[in-house]
Amino acid sequence: MTPSLAELRHIHHQADCLADQASVEAAIDRIAAAITARLSAQRPVIYVVMNGGLVFAGQLLTRLDFPLEVAYLHATRYRQQTQGAELQWQVAPTVDPRGRCALVIDDILDEGHTLLAIVDALRAAGADEVLTAVLLDKRHERKARPDLRADFHGLEVVDRYLYGYGMDYQGWWRNANGIYAVKGL
């Protein structure tokens, strides 16, 4: 059932702000500097994971001052829910990664099942190297692999239900200009 406008406003009003806009912007600056140092001598293809990676990628890409190609893909486990299910490919990668360095941009590394499946698919499609960049890395013990880390990440966050900067609450609030944790979830 779709939440009402009043319910959505209440969720946001009650939420805890874990990182304000200035903190997120500073994290994006740090990620951009690290990516530039690592990839500026290459011609990478950047894959934005829809829909969560959209806001972060939009902010990040303008800070990368070197030639790159942007593509997208859409793989999800959440489908407007608060818990993940089986991986569903809605749009396969839109640019062939064969013989190239690929950088996957997503909003958050939670358990990592979706990100690992995307990385595996790009490697299987012939990418020379696949790197990952996430705005947030959630701290908990449920990672798909104990050693799973993104190659580039901005902020580490607590294990709560988060939204903002591309992450959603039941499909809403991706546009929130900070990182928020829903009360009670």
Which residues share a beta bridge with 132?
104
Closest among 154, 182, 184 to 8, alpha carbons compared: 182
Half-sphere exposure of 149 (CA within 13 A, CB side): 7
- At residue 83, the pLDDT reads 53
pLDDT digits (tens, 9 = 90+) for 62-101: 999 999 999 999 987 655 554 555 667 889 888 999 999 9
- At residue 92, the pLDDT reads 84
- At residue 132, the pLDDT reads 98
- At residue 89, the pLDDT reads 82
pLDDT (tens, 9 = 90+) of the chain, 185 residues, equals 789 999 999 999 999 999 999 999 999 999 999 999 999 999 999 999 998 999 999 999 999 999 999 999 998 765 555 455 566 788 988 899 999 999 999 999 999 988 998 999 999 999 999 999 999 999 998 988 888 999 999 999 999 999 999 999 999 999 999 999 999 87
- Average pLDDT of the chain is 92
Instruction: Characterize 126-149 residue by residue with b for buried, 16 or more Cβ atoms within 10 angstroms of its Cβ, and e for exposed.
Output: ebeebbbbbbbbbeeeebeeeeee
- At residue 34, the pLDDT reads 98
Q: Which two tokens stand for residue 96?
A: 């062939």
- At residue 3, the pLDDT reads 92
The DSSP 8-state label assigned to residue 75 in this structure reads E
Dihedral angle, C-alpha 28, 81, 48, 8, nearest 10 °: -50
Q: What's the pTM value of the predicted model, to 2 decimals?
A: 0.91
